[in-house]
A and B are shown apart, each in its own frame.
Chain A
Amino acid sequence: MAVAEQDTAVRTSAVSRTLIYLILLLFALFYLLPFFVMLVNSLKPLSEITGGNMMALPQDWTIAPWLSAWSTAQIGVEPTGLRPYFLNSLMMVVPAVAISTVLGALNGYVLTKWRFRGDTFLFGLMLFSCFIPFQIVLIPMARMLGIMGLAGSIPGLILVHVVYGLGFTTLYFRNYYAAFPTELVRAAMIDGAGFFRIFWRIMLPVSGPIAVVSVIWQFTNIWNDFLFGASFGGQSQPMTVALNNLVQSSTGVKEYNVHFAGAIIAALPTLLVYVVAGRFFVRGLMAGSVKG
């Protein structure tokens, strides 16, 4: 489908344009600098870091720090590397993102297209959850997880993140669906589609852009979360906690190159989500549903 590209750019002169690009380039370099330091030092032997220049390219290129961070580095008391924790994080983040996004979409659908008495109030309460700091809910949450028998497990973490993310995902989908023409839902009702059929066949196919927003937001938040992971992870701690244990260990030699490699490994999935999903971010899929 041809998406009409609208030219919204303001016309500027060549001089000011060059200036703008120069400044942008400078900022981009500035922001890329830490990543550059991490990357080059993760590919050096430790002696090059301790004995010399942090900014220099490696003289002796090696991927040994990466392998060590992944599978042999000492995490706490076990020499397991980050691998098992990386898998923990994946097993937690994928269901948590999927469930919170689907539930948020359903909530948004109900709150806009199946209005009921008190729906605005209910939505207000759900929004409230966006403003509650993590620390406040730690103890009640621990108690609830204990009662439900989910303490210290991945399902427990999934539940925590779903509950915490629902406010945001509901907000996204509600606002997106508020602009979705209700006449389409009515037409589908007359055509004989029920509640879930309308959701699957009419609403979800046009929810691409907002689903991407929701997935990026949830994935980043859940993957990067440390507090819930450290508090409720138990034997199945996520990546962030393991990275902390790797970097903060106070015994032995500080293997900076391994720490850098570990930090990059920990950041890679979110980076990947941005690169892959970001492309779908701005695609307008609603063109032509109603009179344009």
Chain B
Amino acid sequence: MGFLDIRNVTKSYGSVKVLHNVDIDVQQGEFLVLVGPSGCGKSTLLNMIAGLESITTGEIAIKGRVVNGVHPSRRNIAMVFQSYALYPNMTVGQNMTFGLEMHGVPKPERAAALAKVAKLLQIEQLLDRKPGQLSGGQRQRVAMGRALVRDPDVFLFDEPLSNLDAKLRVDMRTEIKKLHDKLKTTIVYVTHDQIEAMTLSTRIAVMFAGEVQQLGTPKEIYDTPTNVYVATFMGSPAMNVVAASVDMRGEVPHARVVNADGAEQFLRFSQPNMADWAGRDILLGIRPEAITDPEGADRNSANIATLSNRVTVTEPAGADTYVSMTLGDKDIVARMRADVNVGPNDVFDFAVNMEKAVAFDPKTQDRIRP
């Protein structure tokens, strides 16, 4: 049993089911990120944990106490909203202590809690200002401060960084991570940004169409995605997924990819169990960073396949250069070092790290497990 238990929870609006049997155990001190595209049900799930939306079936328990039907204020949770939701008529200090005041905490204790959190977040000089006089980043801090003052069991974050500009977002991301490392609080964090999910979380739940597609550590999600959806959603640029078939060449399974001009390419699999799929169609998934120039290939890999192909586009991105080619029926992106010497229309030897390649069943879209 976890600290926050989500047991077989569903949510329906009339006959429309928006969440299907979600099961997640969150341990104490864990940073769980719910990630997925708009409309996948992640915010609905968060609101159900908060008590702002009712639970259709299933149970949510915090510290072993089932909270279905318990009022939000009695769940001992705090929430940071996307719009920050600071009360415009109150000062920063009043905003942060409003919850304590509502819970009947005496004034001296409120002041002490406020001083402690204000010091932690370095917003002591802002306490007498109104939210309208703060910058975006400052409002973000105050919103987090308001949650921290309560000292709740579970923190809920609803896309807290999506209203900030790009640079500030990265800074605040680091700050939230530091804060979590320091305070060891239990956090459920909703975002549609897969980089936030990867960097912040101890575990990620990738959601799509009201279902948890995969629940695991960032590394598990990234390296061993359960299906094509998770594989292509997590990672930027997205994982390349190409139609291929399994071909046995001297007892060793290879992925056979046919280009538009009829040229065949063979890439040796590292997983021996791919032999079970001999002669059948699969989907081959390769991360952009697993395709490099021969010099940039991973030296620790025991299986680097070479792929001779024509380059279509090169996109220098500063730290990396993205090199595109056409493989099979798809445009493939390779992520190479910045100073790689290659131009459009060159025929180039791509080094593919097949140890990192994954294969999917084209019918179920699920990953073929080694």
Give residues in A with beta carbon < 8 Å to B: 1, 181, 183-184, 186-193, 197, 201-202, 205-206, 285-292
Contact = CB atoms under 8 A, between A and B. Distances in A.
B83 A188 contact: no
B139 A191 contact: no
Contacts of B89: 202, 205-206, 285
A190 B71 CA distance: 8
Given A289-B131, A290-B84, A291-B84, A197 B102 contact: yes
A243 B258 CA distance: 97
A287 B132 CA distance: 6
A288 B133 contact: yes
A283 to B, nearest CB: 13
Interface of B: 50-52, 71-73, 77-79, 81-89, 98-99, 102-103, 130-134, 136, 139, 146, 150, 163
Contacts of A289: 86-88, 131-132
A186 B80 CA distance: 11
Nearest to B158: A183
Contacts of A192: 73, 99, 102-103
B130 A191 contact: no
A288 B77 CA distance: 25
A288 B102 contact: no
26 contacts: A181-B83, A181-B85, A184-B85, A184-B86, A186-B72, A186-B81, A188-B87, A189-B71, A189-B73, A190-B51, A190-B52, A190-B72, A190-B77, A190-B79, A190-B99, A193-B102, A201-B87, A201-B98, A206-B89, A287-B88, A287-B132, A288-B134, A289-B87, A290-B85, A291-B163, A292-B132
Nearest to A203: B89
A288 B87 CA distance: 9
A188 B101 CA distance: 11
Given A190-B99, A288-B86, A288-B88, 18 more contacts: A1-B130, A184-B87, A186-B52, A186-B79, A187-B85, A188-B87, A189-B52, A191-B73, A191-B150, A192-B99, A193-B102, A197-B102, A201-B87, A202-B89, A287-B132, A290-B83, A291-B163, A292-B132
B157 to A, nearest CB: 13
Contacts of B50: 186, 190
Contacts of B134: 288
A285 B130 CA distance: 11
A290 B134 CA distance: 11
Contacts of B132: 1, 287-289, 292
A288 B146 CA distance: 17
Contacts of A287: 88, 132
A190 B78 contact: yes
A141 B143 CA distance: 52
Contacts of A188: 87, 98
B287 to A, nearest CB: 35
B74 to A, nearest CB: 8
A183 B131 contact: no
Contacts of B85: 181, 183-184, 186-187, 290
B88 A187 contact: no
Contacts of A291: 83-84, 136, 139, 163
A191 B99 contact: yes
Contacts of A190: 50-52, 72-73, 77-79, 99
Contacts of B131: 288-289
Nearest to B87: A202
B116 to A, nearest CB: 18
B185 to A, nearest CB: 16
Contacts of B99: 190-192
B310 to A, nearest CB: 47
Interface centre among B51, B84, B88 (most CB of A within 10 A): B88
A181 B99 CA distance: 18
A266 B83 CA distance: 49
A20 B153 CA distance: 65
